[in-house]
Amino acid sequence: MMASTSRTPSLASTPRAFRRAVSSLSSRARASVTRASRVEDADDAESRERLEALRRRSTALLERQRLLTERLERRRREREGENDANREREEAAAVREREEAEAEAEARRRADAEAAAASERARAEREAAEAAEAAAQAEARARADAETPKCRERLNIVMVASERARAEREAAEAAEAAAQAEARARADAETPKCRERLNIVMVASECAPFSKTGGLGDVMQSLPKALAARGHRVMVVVPRYKEYDDVYDTDVRVTFNVLGHPTEIGYFHLYRDGVDYVFIDHGAYHHVRDGIYAGDRSDAMFRNSMLCQAALEAVWHVPCGGAPYGDENLIFVANDWHAALLPVYLQAFYRDHGKFEFARSCFVVHNMAHQGRGPLDEFYSLQLPEHYKEHFVLDDPVGGECMNVMRAGLRLSTKVIAVSEGYAWEITTDMGGWGLAPTIREFGPGKLSGIVNGIDLDEWSPELDCHLDGDGYARFPPRGDAFSDGKRQCKRALQRQLGLAERDDVPVLGFIGRLDDQKGVDLIAEAEGWLCSQDAQLVMLGSGRGDLEDALRGMENRHHDKCRAWVGFSVEMAHRITAGCDILLMPSRFEPCGLNQLYAMRYGAVPVVHAVGGLRDTVQQYDPFNGTGNGWTFDSAETHKFIDAINHAMCTYRDFPEAFREIQARGFERDLGWNRAAELYEDRFIDAKYSW
């Protein structure tokens, strides 16, 4: 029992322990009462005594239970009080926390709002700046747009490059692009725009760099570009002698009646430098790939007839960037006798039948000596109406009656242009007309004129010339001290390459040209003795007639210490000789224009020329008293006069170097480009357009 009492929980115990203690006391009291009631029934004294004890005990237990219950109740109330205080504290803390959180949230909201306002302000400012920038760019683009010519057709161009090389190339390209843009802007500013936009189709048997045997190829390379730069739409039509890089097959095939044979040709196309190059493809051209004028008379007639017919219809068939030329504002330009059938076909096959009503043809005479003469009955193979025959018939006092293709071309074209003013006059003379002077003299007023060729300064400028890279040569500017250094270096390189003594003080004389009667090579051969007795060096490049090739080789063999003859056709050597020689010889018996004297001037080589045709128009005799002139001329094709002119040039070179330098300077300061000539051609074409 005592043990039970001693286990009564203290006030420090938990309420649950109290409750357990109270409940144990209650059950013990209840057990005592039960036992007491059971004992009550006993009637003996001992039992009553036990009963009394039990009653006391149960009363005591009940009393203890009551006390414990009161204590428990007190404790509960105390705890409730504590809980209330705690709750209040907690509530207060919660309120504080809430207030703090709200304050913090409010601060955050304010900060967010301020940040949002600031970012909104920044965005507005940025947008305003961007709008201003965009407006400025749009204005700059519009300005550039107005100044920049538009592409003919917009292409998506995919350029593939290796990643490593790209960065370097991009930097180089950027610099190059800037330089080009500047050059273009300069050229653009210098290049006047066309008076009236024309569709111009130029037709020839050769066009450099695809095919070239002489000056015609050079003109076809540069005049179309110059016309395109003035704003005209320009097509060049030439034979496809072989495969050319970047030229694609249009898949257009057309069949023409060529000298009585149905003949299918293909059109190939290349767009470059603003010009549409259209190549006529047929096996007959492939056969002469190594000598484009090879074959007999009927071969040549077949090729030329095919070229002219295909050229006339190229304006309808060749897409040229999706927009064929059509027949509006159309000027066909036939060059030399190879294209002379074009004006004839234009009239006979089309205009007489109401087609190409507003198209006109112009004929450019590069060389009157080649006319396409043949037997008269050849006319019938051309499938032309009988009344056209009179245009072809030439009753020549020298050659007799013949069929003459150039005559028909001259007669049936609207305008005729010779390649220099001097030559335009010469071909009206019996000496210079090669039998066609009477035909030309029959022309109505304004039909004939002369325009001196220009030169392609991209191809023929010493500062841009890729043929001067390597072998000790050097590009050089055609001006200032750098000119003298560059020229000297090229001269030494030429002497070294050809195995001549490397000397600055000896004048190097050059000759470049076709080896035939025209170029006056025989005058050089006749002057051999005198030339090779001089302290001078002679370098000659040419190909053509066998006897003249042999004459050149003979000179080299006899004077191996002073003379070199390069027999063959080498564009690179032509450039190197022009750059390396001091004096260029052009003793041509006749020269429609001549390009070599113009190239020579650009490279600081002083020309010595026979004053005929274009040579007379472009080279002025040096006058030491007035300090004028850009070369030396002689007035008739006689050896002693030629020698005399060379002698003057060499004396000036040796004894008056300052005067020689001034002559060189006057040469390369001259405007040699195509701009002026292209403008004059344009005038002629516009005149043709309005001629009936």
Interaction site with ligand ADP (CB under 6 A)? 214-216, 218, 512-514, 541-543, 569-571, 574, 593-596
Rounded least distance, CB 334 to ligand ADP, Å: 17
Nearer to ligand ADP, 234 or 512 (CB): 512
Nearer to ligand ADP, 388 or 642 (CB): 642
Return the DSSP state at 608: E
Q: Which of 578, 584, 568 is nearest to 649 (CA)?
A: 584
Rounded least distance, CB 646 to ligand ADP, Å: 19
Rounded least distance, CB 574 to ligand ADP, Å: 4
CB-based contacts of 361: which residues, under 8 Å, 6+ apart?
A: 331, 332, 333, 334, 342, 343, 346, 412, 413, 414, 688
Nearer to ligand ADP, 331 or 586 (CB): 586
Instruction: Spell 351-380 as b/e; 16+ CB within 10 A means b.
Output: beeeebeebbbbbbbbbbeebbbbeeebbe
- The answer to whether 371 touches 407, Cβ cutoff 8 Å, is yes
Q: Is 106 left (phi over 0), alpha (psi -120 to 50) or beta?
A: alpha
Rounded least distance, CB 494 to ligand ADP, Å: 15
Nearer to ligand ADP, 58 or 367 (CB): 367
* Number of Cβ atoms within 10 Å of the Cβ of 649: 24
Nearer to ligand ADP, 207 or 284 (CB): 207
Nearer to ligand ADP, 478 or 594 (CB): 594
| Number of residue whose CB is nearest ligand ADP | 215
Nearer to ligand ADP, 331 or 541 (CB): 541
Rounded least distance, CB 605 to ligand ADP, Å: 12
The single residue listed with the structure tokens 């005399």 is: 644
Rounded least distance, CB 408 to ligand ADP, Å: 23
Nearer to ligand ADP, 9 or 432 (CB): 432
Rounded least distance, CB 213 to ligand ADP, Å: 7
Nearer to ligand ADP, 198 or 584 (CB): 584
Q: Which of 417, 422, 366 is nearest to 620 (CA)?
A: 422
Nearer to ligand ADP, 231 or 614 (CB): 614
Phi/psi of residue 171, nearest 5 degrees: -65, -45
Mode of pairing for the β-strands spanning 275-281 and 233-239: parallel
Instruction: Spell 103-141 as b/e; 16+ CB within 10 A means b.
Output: eeeeeeeeeeeeeeeeeeeeeeeeeeeeeeeeeeeeeee
Rounded least distance, CB 595 to ligand ADP, Å: 4
Nearer to ligand ADP, 216 or 278 (CB): 216
Q: How far apart are CA 289 and CA 214, in angstroms?
A: 16
What's the angle, vertex CA 35, arms to CA 29 and CA 37, rounded to 5? 105
Q: How far apart are CA 259 and CA 509, in angstroms?
A: 48
Rounded least distance, CB 231 to ligand ADP, Å: 27
Nearer to ligand ADP, 542 or 629 (CB): 542
Nearer to ligand ADP, 219 or 344 (CB): 219
Rounded least distance, CB 220 to ligand ADP, Å: 11
* Number of Cβ atoms within 10 Å of the Cβ of 399: 13
For the chain, the residue count is 692
Mode of pairing for the β-strands spanning 275-281 and 261-272: antiparallel
* Number of Cβ atoms within 10 Å of the Cβ of 420: 23
Q: Which of 471, 489, 669, 672 is nearest to 579 (CA)?
A: 489
Q: How far apart are CA 494 and CA 577, in angstroms?
A: 7
Q: Which of 181, 196, 193, 94 is nearest to 144 (CA)?
A: 181
Rounded least distance, CB 609 to ligand ADP, Å: 11
Nearer to ligand ADP, 168 or 290 (CB): 290
The single residue listed with the structure tokens 């003249």 is: 548
Rounded least distance, CB 469 to ligand ADP, Å: 18
DSSP string over 257-287? EETTEEEEEEEEEEEETTEEEEEEE-HHHHT
Distances (CA, A) of 319 to 112, 241, 314, 464, 548: 65, 21, 9, 34, 46
For 527, how many CA atoms within 13 A lie in the half-sphere containing its CB?
23
Rounded least distance, CB 593 to ligand ADP, Å: 6
Nearer to ligand ADP, 342 or 419 (CB): 419
Q: How far apart are CA 522 and CA 548, in angstroms?
A: 8
Phi/psi of residue 447, nearest 5 degrees: -80, -35
Rounded least distance, CB 653 to ligand ADP, Å: 23
* Number of Cβ atoms within 10 Å of the Cβ of 580: 27
Nearer to ligand ADP, 330 or 339 (CB): 339
Rounded least distance, CB 327 to ligand ADP, Å: 32
DSSP string over 533-588? HSS-EEEEEEEE-HHHHHHHHHHHHHTTTTEEEEES--HHHHHHHHHH-SEEEE--
Q: How far apart are CA 511 and CA 596, in angstroms?
A: 9
Rounded least distance, CB 204 to ligand ADP, Å: 12
